[in-house]
Amino acid sequence: MVRMELSVDDLLLDPDNPRIGRVESQAKALEAIVRLDSNHFRTMMRSISDHGLDPGDSLYIINEAEKGGGYTVVDGNRRLAALKVLHEPAVLQATGLGDTIIKRLAKVAEDFDAASADLISCVLFDNRADADEWILRRHGRGMEGEARIFWGTLEIQRFQKDRTVLDVIDFVERNSTFSNDDWGHIRAEIEAKPSVLRRFLDSKKGREWLGMSVKDNKGEKVPVFTQPPKFVLDVLSCIFKGIHEKRIDTRSHNKASEIEAFFDGLPAGLHPTAKPSKTPVAFRDAEVNDDEDRPRQKKGGANSQAAKAAKGKTTKSKAPRSTLAPSRHNFAQPTTSKGQALVHEASRLRLADTPLSSAFVLRAFLQHTLEKYMTDENMPMWEANAKGTPVQLNLSQKAERVIQHLIDNKKATGTDLRGVKRTLTGKTDPASIQALNDYHHDKYDVPAADVLRNAWDTSEPLFIAIYGAP
């Protein structure tokens, strides 16, 4: 490996980039990268223009002079593509991008100072195979900690100093009457899917009900409330318990009206009646003071009976599901023997031991389910291409057709299947059909357990719509 500083003109986009697949030219490579998400691409251009490149993240390159001169970037192609457009927006004219996209990207480049990114930090590898070993450590999954471990939602919030969810969780932990064992399971469920709780905390109804708002404290977002602490705790405990018992999730409480209905349906004692306090109280500082046993509340110091009881117990967090599919399903058994066998295997494959097998079974069950539905509904699986030659639909296309058919025939709502469609038919989601294909064909790509677990759970509304409730 050799560290170098090179100009944009010295660098070539990779025609065999894993993000986009193989392409024929530099113009096609640039077009494909922009089409991944033109809005994200424009944001990257603006970021580079405003802040420059990440000083701790070099591009990985190899020397392929015999293929046209210059160094090929094998990792960092989105950054290089953004730089090329910033330096010379005219390169977009050689692509097949529409005029609207080209004008929006060229507009960002107008204020770019080319001298600010004249030389780019690169690491030169002897060959592609040597570079691949380090690229795998940057982007690979399922490497038991050797590769980068990407941040989850709560980790990102901690870094961004957004305490909205974190302080609420800590408030309930400190003051609730849940036993230590029960709380360990509840907290694990909340932290596994914090977006569910966030929907309630960010909703207009939720904020009015709790008298909740978020204050800026020296750059930190701190949640506060004006209703009595005991009332706020009891309402939040109902929400936490509902999430833990899976009565509340992003499917059941997605719309504002559904969240409003939850609050309106609470017992009379959990409807706000007290006059809100004029002085907001931070969740991190709030204590519920009464005679109830609150196992994790530090009352009376370390020698109090409650403190001793809490100290003598250990909290056991519920581990994430170890198998691809749960043992009990929210959809009816498939009627075919193959479908039943695939569901049976999915419930027994341990993700840590068999990530590739799990990915293959998930893809096989998706294909079996989609094709059975299309057969039952007499939906065509072939269509003519531009030359009039019949071509079979790929699995992503089949998923799109089936989802739309389910919605059109009122077998499911667009809301029910929005997340399924976004995940399965996306081009960059690690749980997409395209990713499942890549796990099969790519010699390096190994899926992570949480990705496959999420892919199965995300697909469940589709299975419910096709197979029905159990």
The residue-averaged pLDDT of 46-55 equals 91
Percent of the chain exceeding pLDDT 90 equals 58
pLDDT for residue 8: 93
Is the pLDDT score of 337 beyond 80?
yes
For residues 323 and 185, give the distance between their C-alpha atoms in angstroms, rounded to a whole number.
18
- State the virtual CA torsion across 374, 376, 378, 383 in degrees, nearest 10: 20
Q: How far is CA 299 from CA 176, 179, 230, 236, 348, in A?
A: 13, 16, 16, 21, 46
- Backbone φ, ψ for residue 302 (5° rounding): -70, -20
For residues 442 and 462, give the distance between their C-alpha atoms in angstroms, rounded to a whole number.
27
pLDDT band at 148 (very low <50, low <70, confident <90, very high): confident
Q: What is the mean pLDDT of the chain?
A: 88
Is the pLDDT score of 270 beyond 90?
yes
pLDDT for residue 41: 95
pLDDT band at 443 (very low <50, low <70, confident <90, very high): low
pLDDT for residue 213: 95
For residues 455 and 324, give the distance between their C-alpha atoms in angstroms, rounded to a whole number.
9
Is the pLDDT score of 310 beyond 60?
no
pLDDT for residue 302: 41
* 362 contacts 346 by C-beta, under 8 angstroms: yes
End-to-end CA distance of the chain: 57
**pTM of the complete model:** 0.52
The mean-pLDDT minimum among 139-153, 196-210, 223-237 falls in 139-153
pLDDT band at 298 (very low <50, low <70, confident <90, very high): confident
Is the pLDDT score of 149 beyond 80?
no
pLDDT for residue 141: 67
The residue-averaged pLDDT of 354-358 equals 89
The mean-pLDDT minimum among 113-117, 228-232, 277-281, 326-330 falls in 113-117
Kindly tell me the sign of the dihedral angle through the C-alpha atoms of 159, 162, 166, 171: positive
Place of tokens 């932990």: 173
- Backbone φ, ψ for residue 324 (5° rounding): -60, -50
pLDDT for residue 419: 82
Helix, strand, coil % (nearest 5) of the chain?
Answer: 55, 10, 35
Contacts of 470 (CB under 8 A, 6+ apart): 329, 330, 331, 332, 333
Percent of the chain exceeding pLDDT 70 equals 91
Is the pLDDT score of 165 beyond 90?
yes
For residues 338 and 341, give the distance between their C-alpha atoms in angstroms, rounded to a whole number.
5
The residue-averaged pLDDT of 346-374 equals 92
pLDDT for residue 303: 39
Is the pLDDT score of 230 beyond 70?
yes
For residues 470 and 170, give the distance between their C-alpha atoms in angstroms, rounded to a whole number.
37
Is the pLDDT score of 307 beyond 50?
no
Residue environment code for 309-339, b if the CB has 16+ CB neighbours within 10 A, otherwise e: ebeeeebeeeeebebbbeeebebeebeeeeb
Kindly tell me the sign of the dihedral angle through the C-alpha atoms of 141, 147, 150, 151: positive
For residues 167 and 201, give the distance between their C-alpha atoms in angstroms, rounded to a whole number.
12
For residues 363 and 359, give the distance between their C-alpha atoms in angstroms, rounded to a whole number.
6
Dig out the tokens for 262 from the structure: 């939850």
The mean-pLDDT minimum among 50-64, 86-100, 277-291, 309-323 falls in 309-323
